[in-house]
């Protein structure tokens, strides 16, 4: 009883503070770097590095978001309101690019369109040796690949908005004398604007955080500048300064995205949800099929086929060394999935049970790491762990022990980075499923004599078991694909499949990078198919079937 009273006097639940500690440590490091600036470091960053990387980063973001919005909105409009040949299999296929890391798409497209690649070579053979193909290793090339890989974020949210409108939106447009195109511009698009804006902001966050794809294209952005400052210039202070700039931009974008989510509301009746799609017959239907099919071909089908072809060509690379990389990837992904599922369950449970504002604030802080790029987390967590290691080593040496403690060079840094980066991925599915447990269910259980533990075991556990599996799968896949955080914090000798892909592409071995890359893709495709399976029957029974941000993260 005394413990319960002491806990109530605290401003927040202690468990939320413990779970939020990695993000708080990273943000604290950024804050200290701003409060105690080094004039020479900031002068170098402000006069030399930022003028080089800020315009490039801004141009990349604008072009990537523009392409993702065009592709995502167009495909969402067609698949949600119209029936055409192949729509049923094209709908889940349009989500597949989320299973392919951006650095693998970059590998394939550079292999195709680089100066010595097959496409420019054949074009020069047909059109003459003087014919020049626009260089793929440019801001435009990086934006093309990132747009093809990230448009599903816009697609999922925009499709959810269009499905909530139903066929009635087309009928309203027809009553105003508008055709399908006019109805889209005058009715459908304005109603879906909050969802589209939310998807665009997610694409913006992912573009700001990308490291692997822009490195492959030799495009200098804030993320690559942080890596180069630390590992090439050996300036940890410079990396912290650049990280502070990037995290400020990322948090602004994350704040805008949260505001957009508050604006998303579903308005519709049963007639809207049950309305059938408009059938596109003849050439119109095949045109819609070709348009969506071309997007799937460019974003998923052709790159996967090329990766499979290159993997077969270099099948001799499947040796004990590659199996070691795969073992490291699986071990890190498995440990992270288990740890984050437990932490996500604990955070979701505390947020449900504890209404104190301090608990809510710490909960939001704990899940804010998804908006912080991996390069920033690597730098921001390395500094406090290195300081803690030095303090502990001094304490141990003071008692005469020869042991040296180096937390910053072990798996602790990697796992803490994963906790900060992917806790929101684990928490959202569990928290959403807990919301289905109404207070009335708990009241009935208490009336039958159940205590809190029995309620958790007999009421909550059966209802959230599926979400625990979902959370573990999502974290597992994200960790398998994660590159910058793993690359910058891994212990010596702990190379993973993603790190191997980075090393091969850095050496220009585009085709040989396909063997470890295809392994990562296969790990990502399985949960994507698992998450979209059966979505079509659910949609026929009750549209809309997707939730805004949770399903974007889930895919």
38-263+281-299: CATH topology: MetI-like fold (1.10.3720)
Please state, in angstroms and rounded to a whole number, the distance separating the CA atoms of residues 258 and 196: 13
Specify whether the CB–CB gap between 151 and 93 falls below 8 A: no
Cα separation, 92 vs 530, in Å, equals 11
Q: How far apart are CA 207 and CA 373, in angstroms?
A: 10
3-state secondary structure 254-311: HHHHHHHHHHCCCCCCHHHHHCCCEECCHHHHHHHHHHHHHHHHHHHHHHHHHHHHHH
Q: Say which residues have a Cβ less than 8 Å from residue 57's Cβ, sequence separation at least 6.
A: 208, 221, 222
Q: SS3 of 322, please?
A: helix
- Asked if 107 contacts 516 with a C-beta cutoff of 8 angstroms, the reply is no
CATH number of 309-535, picked from 3.50.50.60, 3.20.20.10, 3.90.420.10, 1.10.3720.10: 1.10.3720.10
Q: Could you give the residue range(s) of every CATH 1.10.3720.10 domain in the chain?
A: 38-263+281-299, 309-535
List the structure tokens of 146. 């990132």
pLDDT in tens, the chain (555 residues): 444 444 456 666 888 889 989 999 888 888 887 777 777 777 878 888 888 899 999 999 999 999 999 999 999 989 988 889 999 889 989 988 888 889 999 999 999 998 888 888 888 888 887 888 888 999 999 999 999 999 998 998 888 777 766 556 666 666 666 666 666 766 767 777 777 887 888 898 889 889 989 998 989 998 888 888 887 777 777 888 888 888 888 777 767 766 655 554 544 444 444 456 778 888 989 999 999 999 999 999 999 999 999 999 988 888 888 899 999 999 999 999 999 999 998 898 888 878 788 888 888 888 888 878 888 888 888 888 888 888 888 887 777 777 777 777 778 889 999 999 999 888 888 877 777 776 777 777 777 777 777 777 777 777 777 788 878 888 888 898 888 889 888 888 888 999 999 988 888 888 888 999 998 888 777 666 665 554 444 444 443 333 333 343 433
Opening angle at CA 30, ends 24 and 33, nearest 5? 140
- Which helix or strand (DSSP H or E) is residue 82 part of? strand 82-83
CB 201 within 8 A of CB 257: yes
As given in the structure block, the two tokens for residue 55 are 């315009």
CA gap 368, 496 in Å, rounded: 26
Q: How far apart are CA 148 and CA 144, in angstroms?
A: 6
The two tokens of residue 417 are 């980075």
Rounded to an integer, what distance in angstroms lies between the CA atom of residue 465 and that of residue 474? 15
Q: How many residues does the chain have?
A: 555
User: Using CA atoms, how far apart are residues 160 and 23, in angstroms rounded to an integer?
Assistant: 31
> Dihedrals φ, ψ of 494, to 5°?
-105, 50
Query: What tokens were used for 335?
Result: 């440990």
DSSP 427-445: HHHHHHHHTTS-HHHHHHH
Model confidence over 149-169: pLDDT tens digits?
999 989 988 887 777 665 566
Question: What is the structure's pLDDT at 173?
Answer: 63
C-alpha separations of 529 from 99, 103, 469, 525, 547 in Å: 10, 21, 14, 6, 17
- The angle subtended at Cα 481 by Cα 475 and Cα 485, nearest 5°, is 90
Cis peptide before 544 (omega within 30 of 0): yes
What is the full DSSP assignment across 325-372? HHHHHHHHHHHHHHHHHHHHHHHHHHHHH---HHHHHHHHHHGGGGGS
Nearest CA to 413 out of 391, 388, 395 is that of 388
Look up residue 83 and give its DSSP letter.
E
- Residue with the two structure tokens 């969802």: 195
pLDDT for the residue numbered 268? 46
Residue among 111, 108, 110, 80 nearest 94 (CA): 80
Count other Cβ atoms within 10 Å, centred on residue 44. 18
CA distance between the termini of the chain: 44
Phi, psi at residue 82, to the nearest 5°? -130, 150
> What does the pLDDT read at residue 127?
84
Alpha-carbon distance of 352 to 516, in angstroms, equals 41
195 closest CA partner among 165, 169, 167: 165
SS3 154: helix
């Amino acid at each position: 009883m005394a413990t319960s009273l002491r806990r109530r006097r605290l401003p927040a639940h202690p468990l939320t503070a413990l779970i939020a500690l990695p993000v708080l440590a990273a943000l604290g490091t950024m804050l200290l770097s701003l409060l105690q600036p080094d004039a020479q470091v900031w002068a170098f960053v402000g006069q030399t590095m930022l003028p080089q990387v800020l315009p490039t980063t801004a141009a990349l973001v604008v072009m990537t978001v523009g392409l993702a919005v065009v592709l995502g909105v167009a495909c969402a409009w067609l698949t949600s309101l119209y029936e055409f040949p192949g729509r049923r299999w094209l709908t889940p296929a349009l989500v597949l690019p989320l299973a392919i890391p951006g650095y693998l798409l970059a590998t394939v497209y550079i292999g195709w369109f680089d100066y010595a690649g097959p496409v420019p070579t054949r074009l020069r053979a047909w059109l003459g040796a003087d014919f020049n193909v626009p260089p793929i290793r440019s801001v435009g090339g990086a934006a093309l690949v990132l747009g093809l890989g990230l448009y599903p974020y816009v697609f999922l949210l925009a499709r959810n908005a269009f499905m909530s409108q139903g066929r009635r939106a087309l009928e309203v447009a027809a009553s105003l004398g508008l055709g399908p195109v006019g109805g889209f511009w005058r009715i459908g698009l304005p109603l879906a604007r909050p969802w589209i804006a939310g998807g665009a902001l997610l694409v913006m966050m992912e573009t700001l955080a990308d490291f692997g794809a822009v490195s492959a294209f030799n495009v200098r952005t804030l993320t690559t500048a942080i890596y180069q400052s630390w590992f090439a210039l050996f300036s940890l202070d410079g990396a912290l300064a650049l990280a502070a700039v990037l995290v400020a931009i990322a948090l602004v974008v994350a704040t805008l995205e949260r505001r957009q989510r508050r604006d998303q509301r579903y308005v519709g009746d049963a007639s809207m949800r049950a309305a059938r799609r408009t059938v596109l017959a003849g050439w119109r239907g095949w045109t819609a099929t070709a348009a969506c099919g071309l997007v799937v071909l460019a974003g998923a089908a052709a790159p996967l086929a090329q990766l499979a072809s290159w993997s077969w060509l270099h099948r001799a690379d499947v040796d004990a060394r590659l199996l070691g990389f795969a073992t490291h990837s699986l071990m890190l992904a498995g440990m992270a999935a288990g740890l984050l599922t437990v932490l996500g369950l604990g955070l979701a449970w505390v947020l449900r049970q504890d209404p104190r504002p301090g608990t809510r604030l710490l909960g939001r802080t704990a899940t804010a790491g998804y908006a912080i790029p991996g390069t920033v987390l690597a730098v921001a967590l390395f500094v406090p762990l290195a300081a803690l290691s030095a303090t502990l080593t001094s304490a141990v040496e003071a008692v005469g022990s020869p042991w040296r403690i180096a937390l910053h060079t072990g798996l602790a840094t990697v796992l803490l980075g994963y906790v900060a980066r992917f806790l929101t991925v684990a928490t959202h599915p569990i928290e959403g499923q807990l919301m289905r447990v109404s207070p009335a269910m708990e009241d009935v259980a208490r009336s039958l004599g159940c205590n809190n533990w029995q309620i958790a075991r007999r009421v909550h556990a059966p209802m959230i078991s599926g979400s625990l599996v979902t959370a573990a799968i999502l974290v597992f896949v994200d960790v398998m694909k994660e590159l910058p955080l793993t690359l910058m914090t891994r212990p010596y000798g702990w190379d993973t499949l993603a790190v191997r892909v980075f090393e091969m592409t850095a050496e220009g071995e585009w085709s040989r990078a396909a063997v470890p890359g295809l392994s990562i893709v296969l790990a990502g495709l399985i949960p994507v198919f698992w998450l979209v399976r059966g979505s079509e029957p659910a949609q026929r029974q009750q549209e809309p079937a997707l939730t805004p941000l949770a399903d974007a993260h889930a895919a």
